[in-house]
Structure 1
């Protein structure tokens, strides 16, 4: 029998192939839409699988009537309608209700975290797909088919627990960095509102010490101009397209210097800010520190007597977003330069204040990138270890 490529020391016994139904009891949720309450027993459906948390509740009486078997701590919930095969382990000791879009798996003497991750491996997912009714709308797998899927396991309880704990810790680390990333994004959104004047105010609510002057109203064209020099991309001037930038995050998703296709675009040299004018609600922007050519619907904005990093934050404010989205076209709306360039925005008189604001948001962006990168690295590690610690 084939064994995993990576194993904890001291474990050498062969793994074996079993039917999932031999390892768990499989149960259905309610088929009818419940009568929701403001409080009571939490009700889970397919969209709650990632967190196993919901703001929907049913009454205690409905729970007692409809659930002879229900999720308990250590059980596994698996999506089976729409999204098929995503699993999560129940960690609460409180009563939980669930819809028919989820299957309840009650392990029989097998570690829950081990089994949940074994169900994420390619061989199991292949068996799952073969039994899924992909032509159904939405796609689904019948409850009775779930237990027929083959799965490879170790029968050693200690090995199961070690593997389960390893992946459980990985998931906790991923969740931690995701949460920190989201918290920092929320802080950035809050500070963009508080560190820029709102509703005609002359100063922002939150300001660095030492700055007291009113901000001044300046047309956008007075603080930034559009570059228009175009050139074909080259080794020294890689092409930058919409698809190369992660929306709202302002970072590249690939090494654009490796591109081979030659494309024509607006030249930038690292002293400008890029703003995506096509579908401005997508929030495509970049503060490059390299040279290249911006291909497609980019504005290449050159700061005029204004700090580059401050301009980069200004284009992310709600005020700028509102103006940019007063766009022409319905299917392919584009921001109107004539409108944006002639709109007045509040700008600090002091260049030093502009720089401090830019530096503050740069530090937040750096934290967001660090947490996102760590999260991505952990996900890659998890994927690799799923392939090598299971069969």
Structure 2
């Protein structure tokens, strides 16, 4: 693949066999595709045992990428009145929550799939469907977001899409080559995502086996050197952890976001935008490395751990160990399903947005195996975390590569 100039009708990256194929043709989308509208398929119409494959518009955001080869949903709705796909159809939502997400196109490779309401259907014999789906989803994403209408609910109408200026290679073989290149990369990314899912599933299984479940005093899976160590001890939470309220700071520490995915992490490290005043920061608590934080969502996702020193809202409860123990052991334990269930047993009537108190935490029985066993379990799970982090980073790098590739494979400009 070679780089080219920045002509608005020639992509920056072009396959060698098309270097002398000339400029891409400028067309209106309505000139190369016929437009149809999907027909309503409600959520209640979905049936796992149904015989008619179908696609609902929301699935373009949550399940499918630019090329659809397998169908997720089925219905028993009669074929009469349904709009059925033809191979190479491109679908794009006609409604969504944001202008950015609505520019999401997919090529349906299968015929006979019922296409639900709130879907614009583009049917063309002149343009390769996969090529067009990638082009609309990436090369023209910003342009499409600009023509979408509405704020709370965003709409994208066929009349607007028909007027969209697109650039198309004269040779259909070039369209197919671009589509095949991006689809092969998508397959690589999908394969890496499957590996990540397997690692995450493996960790989930280990968490269930390395910690005792309800009614048990020893885990199902135990390292050989601890098999004869007897039952685990259990103590109330206040015997192992104490609440910390330290507001002695000059507001010069980073403000931490308390998240279920990343734990306690400086806000600037993630996409977290909440403004706070200097006066409100004065009341913030100091969080030290190794502290645990009870958040507003702890009854859903457990207790968070901080690998950073910083400040957090006074609404949160900060816990610090008061006896010798392995922090990483409890970092994992406080995210287990069994602990979250124990947490909720003491929280009758609590609702989203309510804080779990230290008193409620202190009444929960928490396992306390020997320190060497804590350390062994922590090391096992932390090494798996490292593998998951490395796999996640690999996927992110592939996504960045894809982003750069689609920017180079389509001409610049509108």
TM-score category by the smaller chain?
0.7 to 0.9
Q: Is the alpha carbon distance of 1:247 and 1:105 closer, same or farther for their aligned partners in structure 2, counting shifts above 3 Å?
A: same
Match for residue 134 of structure 1? Answer: 150
Q: Is the alpha carbon distance of 1:124 and 1:15 closer, same or farther for their aligned partners in structure 2, counting shifts above 3 Å?
A: farther
Q: Is the alpha carbon distance of 1:143 and 1:289 closer, same or farther for their aligned partners in structure 2, counting shifts above 3 Å?
A: closer
**Aligned: 1:198 with 2:213:** yes
TM-score normalised according to structure 1 size: 0.81
- The secondary structure found in structure 1 opposite 2:85 is coil
- Gapped runs of 5+ residues in structure 2? 1-6, 270-276
2:265 and 2:306 in contact (8 A); partners too: no
Root-mean-square deviation over aligned CA pairs: 3.4
- Gapped runs of 5+ residues in structure 1? none
Compute the displacement of 1:191 (Å): 2.7
Match for residue 178 of structure 1? Answer: 193
2:92 and 2:104 in contact (8 A); partners too: yes
Match for residue 116 of structure 2? Answer: 99
TM alignment of 1:15-26, pairs within 5 A: 15-26=24-35
Compute the displacement of 1:78 (Å): 1.7
- The secondary structure found in structure 2 opposite 1:152 is strand
Compute the displacement of 1:340 (Å): 0.8
Q: Is the alpha carbon distance of 1:304 and 1:3 closer, same or farther for their aligned partners in structure 2, counting shifts above 3 Å?
A: farther
Q: Distance in 1 between matches of 2:46 and 2:304?
A: 45
**Aligned: 1:81 with 2:62:** no
Deviations 1:156-203 (A, max 9, x none): 334323322232233223333333333333333333233221222111
1:247 and 1:282 in contact (8 A); partners too: no
**Aligned: 1:45 with 2:56:** yes
**More displaced stretch, 308-317 vs 161-170:** 161-170
Q: Is the alpha carbon distance of 1:251 and 1:228 closer, same or farther for their aligned partners in structure 2, counting shifts above 3 Å?
A: closer
Q: Distance in 2 between matches of 1:376 and 1:298?
A: 33
Q: Is the alpha carbon distance of 1:225 and 1:251 closer, same or farther for their aligned partners in structure 2, counting shifts above 3 Å?
A: closer
Match for residue 155 of structure 1? Answer: 170
- The secondary structure found in structure 2 opposite 1:193 is helix
Match for residue 354 of structure 2? Answer: 333
1:314 and 1:320 in contact (8 A); partners too: yes
Deviations 1:36-85 (A, max 9, x none): 553201121012223353333225xx22x335x63244332222233633
Match for residue 334 of structure 2? Answer: 315
Compute the displacement of 1:316 (Å): 0.9
2:86 and 2:111 in contact (8 A); partners too: yes
Number of residue pairs the alignment of both structures matches: 377
Q: Is the alpha carbon distance of 1:35 and 1:124 closer, same or farther for their aligned partners in structure 2, counting shifts above 3 Å?
A: closer
